[in-house]
Amino acid sequence: MITKSSQHLWTYRALFLGLCLLIITAKILPITLDQGRLPSPDILLAVTLAWLLRQPSAVPVLSIVIVFLLADFLLQRPPGLWTLLVLLASEGLRRKRAQMTEFPFLVEWGLFAVAVFALILMNRIALFVLFAETDRLGIALAHGIVTVGIYPVVVALSKYGLGLRKLRPTETESKPT
Amino acid sequence: MARERSDQSLARPVRRLMVGVLVLCLILLVLLWRIDNARVERIRAAILDRFVPNMEWAMAPVTSAGRMIDDFQSYARLYEQNDQLRRELQQMRAWREAAIQLEQENARLLDLNRVQLDPELTFITGIVLADSGSPFRRSVLLNVGERDGILDGWATMDGLGVVGRISGVGARTSRVLLLTDSNSRVPVTVQPSGQQAILMGDNTLAPVMEFLETPEDISAGDRIVTSGDGGLFPPGLLIGQVAITPDRRVRARLSADLSRLNFLRVMRSYQSNEVTDPGSLIGPPWPPEPSLSVPDDTVETGELEE
């Protein structure tokens, strides 16, 4: 039982890393230069938090740090800042999730939305404190809205495409060994 | 299934410590980026250097797919493009028509202009009285004759081009032998190449050009003007355009509308001085004593200038 579950666990961890690399690659590919009217959603964040909320152990802290730091460096963002915020948010979500007994999808989505907007807000505050330039608030908010909007799609793809089952909080806490 | 295993008695504090260290490191990284921007940007460039070239395998299919999509889009636009091109072609055709008309008008105006400016060329206008109806003689009768000073051999034009020449003058009428008549022979020049030829009527609407030196130099649409050789016609009168028949004969499409002759101009051309002494033309200039060489020179240069 243990070997099987841990095997699954490592499969999902590797899958997560591969998926994130794929997303980052797709993001830097020179497909379109001009952005559409809608800002593109932050799929990386959606995938990470979705997996975190559904199977927390598939998204260890180290993967988050590696993936987001890489994304920070490759996507010309201030290195470390977004990673730091995502790390803190993920820890918060982990704890929140562990405390809850019932976990329907709408609550999950709501938690995600709160996390996204908190992240955007914190990012702006941090950049403001550091006297770095920020992009316009409207674009940032639209970005957040689009990211929240894409969350069900990401969840559906993870669930039906990759077979990522949603674990109950009690299931998480219960010790198999 | 995948289970959380982090809540073992020892794992939890260790994990918390690790997260704390990571957070601290990230904060330091952000601060470093803010303080020593250049160095961090260099690190970023190094990371990009390591990663991006390795992604060529990903780029290649994506770029080719993009190109395929572009091709497909252009394929889908084909109908639209075709339509647009057709519209443009229509427009161009209209422009071409306008250009041709302007060209003809320009030629006509130039011709009229030259006729007016040349002091030697004045004209008498006559009205066509009758077409002579024989299939072997193409001529018309004018209502001007000896009374009006018409002389045999003068060129006759309608508004645009040469029609023929006077052959037969009565007291009040004169006969115009048309260029299409089988007896008509007119020396002509083909304009861009400057070749001399004889325009021979053969009772068809388009007279034949004979005695061309190099017919290869002549292309359809070249202008034909009278050359003035032989002193018969004044030089430079427009006759028509070259047309090449399918059997490679060079013919002239006359500018004058022979089927609708109404008013004709008879160009007064006075006989130029005739060359009587061939010795004065050929050979080196003579010493000044012969008196005949002076008019000969003027005749020669005058003809050359035309």
Domain positions in chain A are 4-161
Q: What is the mean pLDDT of residues A42-47?
A: 89
Measured between CB atoms, does B11 come within 8 Å of chain A? Answer: no
Please tell me the distance from the alpha carbon of residue B236 to that of residue B225, in angstroms, as a whole number. Answer: 5
The interface residues of chain A toward chain B in range 126-155, judged by CB-CB distance below 8 A, are 126, 130-132
**Nearest C-alpha of chain B: how many angstroms from A113?**
23
Decide if B142 contacts B128 (C-beta within 8 A): yes
Q: Which residue has the higher pLDDT, B137 or A124?
A: A124
Global confidence as pTM: 0.49
Question: Is the pLDDT score of B10 beyond 70?
Answer: no
* pLDDT of A165 above 70: yes
Cross-chain Cβ contact A80/B48 below 8 Å: no
- A&B contacts, CB < 8 Å: 96
B69 touches chain A (CB under 8 A): no
As for the ipTM of the complex, it is: 0.81
What contacts B107, CB < 8 A, 6 or more positions away?
Answer: B160, B223, B238, B255
Rounded to the nearest angstrom, the minimum Cα separation between B79 and chain A is: 26
Categorize the per-residue pLDDT at B247 as very low, low, confident or very high, splitting at 50, 70 and 90.
confident
Least confident among A121-135, A154-168, B6-20, B186-200: B6-20
What is the pLDDT, as a whole number, of residue B306? 42
- Pick from A81-90, A134-143, B132-141, B152-161 the range whose average pLDDT is largest: A81-90
pLDDT band at A11 (very low <50, low <70, confident <90, very high): confident
- Report pLDDT for B14: 85
Dihedral sign computed on CA atoms, order A72, A77, A83, A84: positive
Specify the pLDDT at position A174: 41
* Residue in B with minimal Cα distance to A32: B66
* Contact: B26, A31; criterion CB under 8 Å: no
Is the pLDDT assigned to residue A158 strictly greater than 80? yes
CA–CA gap between residue B208 and residue B199 (Å, rounded): 6
Q: Is B68 near chain A, with CB under 8 Å?
A: no
Choose the closest CB to A79 out of B5, B29, B63: B29
Instruction: Indicate yes or no: CB of B30 within 8 angstroms of CB of A172.
Output: no
Cβ B197 vs Cβ B303: under 8 Å: no
Cβ burial, residue B134 (10 Å; 0-12/13-18/19+): exposed
Mean pLDDT of B267-288: 65
The pLDDT, as a whole number, for residue A162 is 82
Tell me, yes or no, if B56 comes closer than 8 A to chain A by beta carbon. Answer: no
Q: Which residue of A has its CA nearest to B40?
A: A79
Residue B133 reports pLDDT greater than 70 = no
Q: Indicate if the pLDDT at residue B127 is higher than 90.
A: no
Q: Are A65 and B23 in contact (CB < 8 Å)?
A: no
Among the partner-chain residues A58, A69, A91, the one whose CB lies closest to the CB of B2 is A58
Report residue B52 as tokens.
């991006």
Structure-token match 């993936």, residue found: A67
pLDDT category, B267, cuts 50, 70, 90? confident
Whether A172 and B3 lie within 8 Å, measured CB to CB? yes
Residue B122, chain A, CB below 8 Å: the answer is no
Distance of residue B74 Cα from the nearest chain A Cα, in angstroms: 18
**β-sheet bridge partners, residue B162:** B157
One DSSP character per residue, A93-133 reads: HHHHHHH-S---HHHHHHHHHHHHHHHHHHHHHHHHHTT--
Terminal CA-to-CA distance of chain A, rounded, Å? 9
- Computed over every residue of chain B, the mean pLDDT equals 79
Give the pLDDT of residue B33.
86
DSSP at A77: P
State pLDDT tens for residues A123-145: 989 888 888 777 778 888 888 89
User: Taking CB atoms and an 8 Å cutoff, what residues of chain A touch B18?
Assistant: 61
Looking at the predicted structure, is the pLDDT value of residue A1 above 50?
A: no
If you average pLDDT over residues A26-51, what whole number do you get? 75
Per-residue pLDDT, B291: 56
Residue B203, token pair as written in the block: 């009772």
Here the tokens at position B244 are 């090449």
B189-239 pLDDT tens trace: 998 888 899 999 888 888 999 888 888 888 888 889 998 887 778 888 889
Using CA atoms of B245, B251, B255, B257 in order, give the dihedral in degrees to the nearest 10: -80
Residue B1 scores a pLDDT above 50 = no
Enclosing H/E stretch for A6: helix A2-28
| Residue B244 near residue B217, CB atoms below 8 Å | no
Contact between chains at B23 and A167 (C-beta distance less than 8 A): no
The beta-carbon neighbor of A87 closest among B2, B26, B52 is B26
Strand partners, B131: B140
Strand-pairing partners, residue A169, are none
Q: Which residues on B lie below 8 Å from A31 (Cβ)?
A: 62, 66
Name which of B12, B24, B30 to mutate to probe chain A: the one with the most chain A Cβ atoms within 10 A of its Cβ: B30
Q: Which residues pair with B198 in a beta bridge?
A: B187, B210
- pLDDT tens for each residue of B57-90: 767 777 788 788 888 877 778 888 889 999 999 9
CA distances from B85 to A91, B93, B96 (A): 63, 12, 16
Provide the shortest C-alpha distance from residue A32 to chain B (in Å). Answer: 10
> Position of tokens 């055709």?
B93
